[in-house]
Structure 1
Amino acid sequence: MPRSEINRSGEMQVFVCVVEQGGFSAAARACHMTPSAVSKLVARLEARLGTRLVNRSTRAFRLTPEGSAFYERAARILADIEDAERGAAAGEQPVGRIRLNTSASYATHILSPILAEFLGAYPGVSIDLMLTDVIVDLLAERTDVAVRAGPMKSSSLVARKLGETAMVIVGAPAYLERLGTPRTIEDLERHNRLGFSYVRTVDGWPLGRAGDTVVVPAAGRVRASDGEALRHIAIGGGGLARLAAFTVRADVAAGRLVPVLEDLNPGDREAFHAVYIGQGGPLPVRVRALLDFLAERGRVG
């Protein structure tokens, strides 16, 4: 069949309907088609793609691995088409879905308290929020905006700075009572130093001594890919953690955590940026609205 005669979006819509309805008969009712027409369309799609998407039997409906992958991508493509149509119809009014990737710490302490304000200001916009401390490939993950901590490396990404935060080593009162409050770098040897399970710009805890900075490895018994997990472990008495000050400010004020070794704190600060892919034409209005909002209301300090 010539490429121009293939209704790819139509095929995707029917296939997505089959998956979401759980079978050909249910999809036929939802799509106002006959079961045989739905079955033939899926068979034609499989023949064109050269792979089986669905394992058929009289009692079960199950996607193949290739079918699962095709469904995920087809569903996203159809959602993007819908967003594009809504956005074009709305003109300059922000509308559509934004995929936002950020750390659990930023989401918990900065974003969550203000997100309702953004949604209220832009009722046509919806947010897909993905949480990870690990740097993601924005293009591969189909991410519109990511909030990242640390210095920006030269890349094709464009960044808007959202402020910077001090770093602090903290422990729970009960933990410090049990193992003692460290006063020197050497005292850290007997402490469980909670760390991150991915590579960071500085892989350890920098501490100042006699004008020099010594990096102490975070060689504890627990490592995590999420700063919020380390915070909760520290609150529970599991060890010391070096975290962004804005994430533990309320805990320190409430007495759940206690800063230690502040006289050796070198005063380094961690920057936060909202990053996005800057190539390929003007930004969608919805993305620009989120970036402006974060630059004003989503700053760390």
Structure 2
Amino acid sequence: MDTLTSLRVFCTVVEFKSFTAAASRLGLSPAMASKHLTHLEDRLGTRLLNRTSRRVSLTEVGALYVNQARQMLDGLDEVEAAISNVAVTPRGTLKLSAPMWMANALIARAIADYRQRYPDVSVDMDFSGRIVSIVDEGFDLALRATSRDRLDPGLVARPLMEVPFQLVGTPDYLERAGRPSTLSDLNGHSLLLYGGMNANGNLTFKGRSGTEAVKFRVVMRSENEIMLHLAALEGMGLVFLPAWMTQSDVNKGALEVVLPEDVMFSIPLHAVYPSKKYLSAKVRTFIDFFAARVDSGRVCVNS
């Protein structure tokens, strides 16, 4: 029995969580798909899948094996395409990690448009906010907003755009606490602090009048940007957030941008993926598609 076909059957069963669906996709009978899985398990001497009449799930060994198998099959498809000069149709599951604040309507629209163009690709997105281990956890790609020197040197990082961050607060809060007109006016203001920033609220800005240190009063700290956004809308204080999260609130007057010429800054967004000579079609097309959206301004926010 062809082991390469058995590998494809295994990965497709994992993707669809069904022998019947996988067999249909590959043009096999369910019985033949099951035989291929049995062949692969016998060859390895271990069980890869737990099978019941209602569900299929990966064993611990299977979870490790499927990541390597997927990478190998993706690479093989790319090599064959390079040799035969035939384009590979992107297909399979694109496992993607992104910052929590990217879970918004702009990104949803971009994903929908990508899938309309490449309907054979399904997207598995992690917006937990944690820094995933791309290789160990089987991710194809991560979008990370940080400077290049803070990224894993063993990974490829393609810069996509600069993400603008704004300091915002509700009109009600600014009426109560005072609407700042200079950097020094920010001293003592309530700050909703992202966990990755300076924990004591001492921040330095390069404003119109030069560099100035500001001492905020931290009233809330969280690693969850969505919670910080909601707290800001409740008038708890000022918060630094990506313009993608806040621009619609600013447009309708629910939030105001504070001192945009003094405290606004940007962070580079990178597409990060394992270093491979032959990048899978689903990863390559997604990065190119997203980069084109950025260049055209369709995933940017006018700040």
Q: What range is the shorter-chain TM-score in? A: 0.5 to 0.7
Retained in 2: the 8 A contact 1:194–1:218? Answer: no
Residue 205 of structure 2 corresponds to 207
CA distance in 2, matches of 1:109, 1:164: 19
Residue 102 of structure 2 corresponds to 106
Distance 1:188 1:134, change over 3 A: farther
* Letter of the structure 1 residue corresponding to residue 270 of structure 2: H
Decide which moves more: 81-90 or 215-224: 81-90
Residue 248 of structure 1 corresponds to 246
Unmatched runs of 5 consecutive residues or more in structure 2 = 1-5, 19-32, 36-41, 51-57
Retained in 2: the 8 A contact 1:132–1:225? Answer: no
Distance 1:264 1:80, change over 3 A: closer
Retained in 1: the 8 A contact 2:100–2:127? Answer: yes
Residue 178 (structure 1) aligned to one of 176, 179, 186:
176
Residue 270 (structure 2) aligned to one of 258, 269, 273:
273
3-state SS in 1 of match to 2:104: helix
CA distance in 2, matches of 1:120, 1:172: 38
Larger radius of gyration: 1
Unmatched runs of 5 consecutive residues or more in structure 1 = 1-7, 21-30, 34-40, 47-53, 55-66
Retained in 1: the 8 A contact 2:170–2:255? Answer: yes
- 1:255-275 deviations in whole A, cap 9, x for unaligned? 11011233533x532221212
Q: TM-score, normalised by structure 1?
A: 0.67
Deviation (angstroms), 1:172: 1.1
- 1:72-121 deviations in whole A, cap 9, x for unaligned? 44666677789889998996111111111111222314311221111111
* Letter of the structure 1 residue corresponding to residue 266 of structure 2: R
CA distance in 1, matches of 2:95, 2:163: 25
Distance 1:197 1:95, change over 3 A: same
Residue 123 of structure 1 corresponds to 119
Retained in 2: the 8 A contact 1:83–1:96? Answer: no
How is 1:123-142 mapped onto 2 (pairs within 5 angstroms)?
123-142=119-138
Distance 1:133 1:212, change over 3 A: farther
Deviation (angstroms), 1:167: 2.6
Q: TM-score, normalised by structure 2?
A: 0.66
How is 1:23-42 mapped onto 2 (pairs within 5 angstroms)?
none
- 1:227-276 deviations in whole A, cap 9, x for unaligned? 233222211212110122232111111011011233533x5322212121
* Letter of the structure 2 residue corresponding to residue 268 of structure 1: F
Distance 1:110 1:75, change over 3 A: same
CA distance in 1, matches of 2:292, 2:216: 34
CA distance in 2, matches of 1:112, 1:223: 28
Instruction: Give percent identity, aligned residues only.
Output: 27
